[in-house]
Structure 1
Amino acid sequence: MLARTTLSLGTALLAAALLAPGCSAYRSSDGAAPRTLAQESEQALARMRAADASLSGFFDRAYAYAVFPSIAKGAAGIGAANGDGVAYLRTPGGFRAVGTAEVTQVTLGFQLGGQNLSQIVFFQDRTAFDTFARNQLEFAANASAVGVRQGAAASSDFEAGVAVFVQPREGLMLEAAIGGQRLSYQPYAGGGVTTLP
């Protein structure tokens, strides 16, 4: 029991150190002046839709979605990832921003290197969104996300009410491991409407 407790504490401390940048004020990933999270989210959406027009099919069918413009992934024996995002809910006038979201991930095993990517999580129906809204959404260890590239979304579908796509800030990615990712949600009143068809 003591060994397990010590390992858990050590893991938590290392993960906290790796995830610390995610706790700071939100800044654009290119080091420019601070931008709002909503602006970064809209820009990430535009990049992903430009890279794969078939993503429109998911926007047509989704009840809601959450977009994370910049998820920083670091690894030094223990992998950790963290990113902030915005959650959007379908309304008669378009998708409306209804709250903020956060993704965290800690993985064990030998790993080395870092990565920065954007991620969008589609929720097929209210049941799937409510699981997210109750902070109960965690991906299984073998879960993976589809890399955004032309036509990739056309051959993808929802699984257990959720579909996840990722796009590295540089280069291409066929898929990414998202096992262990936990998503949390914080609602807020009001918010702008993003006009997505």
Structure 2
Amino acid sequence: MNTKKIRGIFIMLLFVFPLSQAWADECQDAAELFRKAGDSARFFDNSYGYAIFPNIGKGGIGVGGAYGKGCVYAQGKHVGNATMTQVSVGFQLGGQAYTQIIFFQDKRAFEEFTSGNFEFSANAQAVAITAGASASASTAGNSAAVSGGMHDAKTVGAHYNKGMATFVIAKGGLMYEASLAGQKYKYQPL
């Protein structure tokens, strides 16, 4: 891979990904979006915990990358922070910003995520929460778009897969290719 190309992609991500000092506040605000958005709301009461990433920036032209920082909660308490990185090669074009939450069904799923470096398997899927528009996000490579207000949000196919359920809310941009495969998470306890 050309290092200039990779450097350019990450510089582009800095424009897509807003930087902030108040991560915990951003995480709480992002969690509120999911609490008010369709099926994801019921997961707050029925999960051991969750990891939330308020702003993930993703972009690419042939070679792509994504990055986001988030907070990890267990039994209602902020117990650590996490980063998500993704590098991908293949047909992709554009950039997007989105919010992502991963619910942990039980302590086993939580410990799997927080054991060090966690990576989703190739068959991992996210449920795209949309407001007044249709969208999907999966390893198959689909696009997501959002319009309208979050009070009109809808979800489709919300369930746990191997102890985790993932939801995304597109914030802006347009990109062909929206997958979880290749996303790596690094956890750091408080």
Same fold (TM over 0.5): yes
Q: Residue type matched to 1:65 in 2?
A: Y
Q: Secondary structure of 1:129's match?
A: helix
Match of 2:41 among 22, 31, 56: 56
**Structure with greater proportional strand content:** 2
**Whole-angstrom distance in 2 between the partners of 1:119 and 1:134:** 20
Aligned to 2:100: 119
- TM-score (norm. length: structure 1): 0.73
- 1:163 and 2:170 matched: no
Check whether the contact 1:142–1:177 (CA below 8 A) recurs between aligned residues.
no
* Pairing 1:1-12 to 2, within 5 Å after superposition: 10=1
Aligned to 1:67: 52
Q: Secondary structure of 1:159's match?
A: coil
* Pairing 1:31-50 to 2, within 5 Å after superposition: 34-50=20-36
**Structure with greater proportional helix content:** 1
Aligned residues: 165
**Structure 1 residues without counterparts, runs of 5 or longer:** 1-9, 189-197
Which structure has the bigger radius of gyration?
1
**Structure 2 residues without counterparts, runs of 5 or longer:** 131-152
- 1:106 and 2:87 matched: yes
Check whether the contact 1:146–1:176 (CA below 8 A) recurs between aligned residues.
no
Aligned to 1:138: 119
Go from structure 1 to structure 2 and tell me whether the alpha carbon gap of 1:187 and 1:12 turns closer, same or farther (over 3 Å shift).
farther
Q: Give the percent of matched residue pairs that are identical in Structure 1 and Structure 2.
A: 39
After TM superposition, give the deviation of residue 107 of structure 1 in Å. Answer: 1.2
Between 36-45 and 127-136, report the one with greater CA deviation. 127-136
**Whole-angstrom distance in 2 between the partners of 1:142 and 1:16:** 29
